[in-house]
Amino acid sequence: MSPRATDPDGVEEGAPLRIALVTPILPVPYDKTRGRYIHETARALSRLATVRVFLPQVRYLRLPGLAPRSFLHGEVGADYTLDGIDLEPYTYPGIPGVSRATNGMVGGHALTPRLRAFRPDLVLAYWVYPDGYAALRASRRLGVPCIVGARGSDIHVRSGINAHLTRKVLAGADQVLTVSEAMRAAAIETFGAHPAKVRTIVNGIDTAVFHPRERGAMRAQLGVDPDVRLVVYVGRFVESKGLFELLQAFAAIAGRDPRARLALVGDGVMRRQLPELLRAHGIEARVYLPGGMEPTGVAEWIGASDVLTLPSWSEGYPNVVVEAIACGCPAVVSDVGGAGEIVRESNGLLVPPRNPAALERALEAALDADWDRAAMAASMRRGWHDVAVDTLDVCRQVLADATPAGR
C-alpha cells in the first residue's frame, strides 16, 4: 500500500485514504457535550478521506451489587447517527468492576470483523484503553498500521492494570497523538513512549460558531439581567471537574457581590445533586442551569458571560477554554494538563487545582480586570480543517513508513 499525494490544503489528489476511526467518546443523547471535539475532528477528516467511525460500547451484565462506574457507561442503538460522519455503533460484553483488564481484548475481537468488512488503510483510535488496545489488536490481525490518540484522562491513569495496559498500547502503536505538549511529556516520561513516535496535534474550534457576540443581545436572548457579573462553567457535571470547589468559591463571591451570577452549562452524574448543593450554599437564586447544549447554545452562554471558569483536577487540552477566548471571554482555569499552553496574562488566569480560595481570588480578579477581548478573540482561530489536515499528514507518514521503501 502506498501513501496518496495531497495538495497544500490537505486535499487528496487520488483515491482518498480509508480510515477506521475507533472511539467511545462521542456525543450521545444523554450527554451531548461528551466527545464533541472528536466528533468535530471526525467530521473534518471525513471531508478529506473515507472515514468510518466505530463506536464501541461495553454491554455490562446486570449483577447484584455491581454497577459500572465509568462516565462512558451507557448505550445507543445500532441505528444511532451523528451529523457529518459514517457511524457504526456496536457492543461487546463486560462485567462491572471485573472485566476492566479484559475489555481491550474482548473489544478487539468484536472490532476485528467490522474492520475487515470496511477494509481500512489504517486505524485511528481515540482513547488509549480499552479502545486503543482493541484497535491495536484488530489492526494487527488485518496487517494495517494503528495510530492511537490520547485525549486527557485516559493517560492520567493510576491503577496498576490500567497503567500497564496503557504502556503496552503506547509502545505498540505506530504513532501516538496527544492534544498538548504536557500530555506528550506524560506519554514519554510516564509511559515510556518513544519520543519520535509521539506528536502533538492541538484541537481546533468551529470558527463559524465561536466568535465574539454582543453581550447585551445574548443576555436579552437568554433572559439574563444586563447588569449582573456572570461566570460560566461548561462541561460535565462530575467531581473531578472541580464543581465542589467552584460552588464554594462562587458562594463566597456572591456573599459580597449582589450582582454575581453563575451559569452551569452541561450535564452529568452530579446533576441531581446540584439543587441541594446550591441550597446548602445559599446560592440557588444566583445560578442558571440551562442543561447540556449543542455548540451554538454553548457559544451563546459564553457570549453572555464576563468570565469562563474550568477548575478541573486534570485536563488534556481544555478546548472549551479555547472556545471561550475565541469568543472574547477570559478564562480562569486550573493549571493542569495543557491549560498553560492556552492561558496567558492577556486572556485569563491560572489557579492551582482543588483550591477554592485561590479560585475565588482569581474569579474576582478576572471579573474586575479590563480585558482586550477583541485581541484575545483574534488569537484563537485554528479550525477543525487544520486539525484534519495535520491528522491526515500523520496518517500518510505512518503509511509511508509501513511500506517496504519506508522501512
- Tell whether the model's pLDDT for residue 70 goes beyond 60: no
More confident residue, 316 or 262: 262
CA distance readout (Å), 237 to 25, 69, 134, 272, 388: 16, 15, 28, 10, 29
Question: Is residue 320 situated within a structural domain?
Answer: yes
Tell me the mean pLDDT in the region 365-370.
Answer: 98
Split at pLDDT 50, 70, 90, the class of 98 is confident
More confident residue, 20 or 13: 20
- Cβ neighbours for 260, distance < 8 A, ≥ 6 positions apart: 228, 229, 231, 250, 253, 254, 286, 367
Tell me the mean pLDDT in the region 72-79.
Answer: 80
- The pLDDT of residue 214: 98
CA distance readout (Å), 333 to 91, 117, 124, 326: 36, 44, 30, 15
Same domain membership, residue 160 and residue 28: yes
Into how many domains does the chain fold?
A: 2
Same domain membership, residue 34 and residue 70: yes
Tell me the mean pLDDT in the region 108-118.
Answer: 99
Backbone angles phi, psi at 171, to 5 degrees: -75, -35
- Counting residues of the chain whose pLDDT is more than 90, the rounded percentage is 81
Question: Is residue 13 situated within a structural domain?
Answer: no
Question: Is residue 263 situated within a structural domain?
Answer: yes
Same domain membership, residue 183 and residue 231: no
Question: Is residue 113 situated within a structural domain?
Answer: yes
Same domain membership, residue 197 and residue 66: yes
- The pLDDT of residue 66: 59
Same domain membership, residue 395 and residue 273: no
Same domain membership, residue 200 and residue 61: yes
Question: Is residue 247 situated within a structural domain?
Answer: yes
In the structure grid, which three cell numbers stand for residue 313, read together?
A: 483536577
In the structure grid, which three cell numbers stand for residue 9, read together?
A: 490544503
Same domain membership, residue 220 and residue 159: no
Residue range of the domain that includes 300: 215-378
Same domain membership, residue 336 and residue 234: yes
CATH of the domain at 337: 3.40.50.2000
The helix (H) or strand (E) run that includes residue 209 is none
Q: How does pLDDT run across 287-325, given as a tens digit for each residue?
A: 999 998 889 999 999 999 999 999 999 988 999 999 999
Same domain membership, residue 133 and residue 86: yes
Helix 295-304, helix 215-222: angle, nearest 10: 120
Question: Is residue 5 situated within a structural domain?
Answer: no
- The pLDDT of residue 63: 64
Q: What is the DSSP string of 290-317?
A: EES--HHHHHHHHHH-SEEEE--S--S-
Same domain membership, residue 155 and residue 74: yes
Secondary structure class of 54 (helix, strand, coil): strand
pTM for the whole structure: 0.85
Mean pLDDT of the chain: 92
Same domain membership, residue 98 and residue 149: yes
- The pLDDT of residue 217: 98
Same domain membership, residue 164 and residue 39: yes
Split at pLDDT 50, 70, 90, the class of 407 is very low
Question: Is residue 209 situated within a structural domain?
Answer: no
Tell me the mean pLDDT in the region 376-405.
Answer: 93
Question: Is residue 282 situated within a structural domain?
Answer: yes
